[in-house]
């Protein structure tokens, strides 16, 4: 009933990629665009989630997987209420992303892979995380001391070093609009 009331189809739009690849930037831009177009959405971001819901978790493989599981469960609650959920998480392993699909339902999951290269992400290193990881000050840092499994069949793939934010945003919206319209 809820999707009809909100005049939209709830979906989880999952942004995955390395730190600095443009996940949060595009997620925030998409949230703003959806709002302007009359959609109801909620955005979940890794940094914010780790301040509350997942503040008890570290960055070990087990903790990262539990972090993603919790996010998927929260996303499922938002989907049940009829909202479009925008989620920006590194989610480095295929099994983690598959677990999200299983929890929310494959038909409710849209994966956007930010394929921006490690070199570009390191140059953008706004928080200085890559430098710390290279010095060994941060353990289990994705792309440096912890692997990132490239998504094999994402719904959308964008390299933000080749497209502007606006171009990337329009590419995403063009692909998702038929999936979120009633």
Task: Return the half-sphere exposure (C-beta side, CA atoms, 13 A cut-off) of residue 144.
Answer: 18
- pTM for this model (two decimals): 0.92
Q: Positive or negative CA dihedral for 174, 23, 32, 102?
A: positive
Q: Please, are residues 126 and 24 in contact by the beta-carbon 8 Å criterion?
A: no
What is 9-116+150-174's CATH topology? Rossmann fold (3.40.50)
pLDDT per position as a tens digit, 69-122:
999 999 999 999 999 999 999 999 999 999 999 999 999 999 999 999 999 999
User: Residue 107 corresponds to which tokens in the numbers above?
Assistant: 């038909």
Domain segments of the chain as ranges? 9-116+150-174
Q: Annotated catalytic, 91?
A: yes
Residue among 21, 43, 91, 146 flagged as catalytic: 91
Q: Which candidate, 154, 153, 145, 143, places its Cα nearest to that of 120? A: 143
pLDDT digits 0-9 by tens, 123-147: 998 888 899 889 889 888 898 888 8
């Amino acid at each position: 009933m809820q999707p009809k009331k909100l005049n939209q189809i709830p979906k989880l739009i999952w942004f995955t990629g390395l730190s600095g690849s443009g996940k949060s930037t595009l997620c925030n831009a998409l949230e703003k665009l959806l709002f302007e177009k009359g959609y109801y959405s909620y955005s979940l971001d890794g940094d914010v989630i780790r301040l509350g819901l997942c503040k008890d978790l570290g960055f070990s493989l087990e903790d990262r997987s539990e972090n993603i599981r919790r996010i998927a469960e929260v996303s499922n609650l938002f989907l049940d209420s009829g909202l479009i959920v925008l989620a920006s998480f590194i989610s480095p392993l295929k099994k983690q992303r598959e677990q999200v699909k299983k929890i929310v339902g494959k038909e409710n999951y849209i994966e956007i892979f930010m394929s921006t290269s490690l070199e570009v992400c390191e140059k953008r290193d706004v928080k200085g995380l890559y430098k710390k990881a290279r010095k060994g000050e941060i353990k289990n840092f994705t792309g440096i001391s912890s692997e990132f499994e490239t998504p094999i069949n994402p719904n959308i793939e964008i390299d933000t070093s080749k497209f502007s934010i606006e171009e990337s945003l329009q590419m995403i919206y063009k692909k998702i609009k038929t999936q979120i319209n009633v």
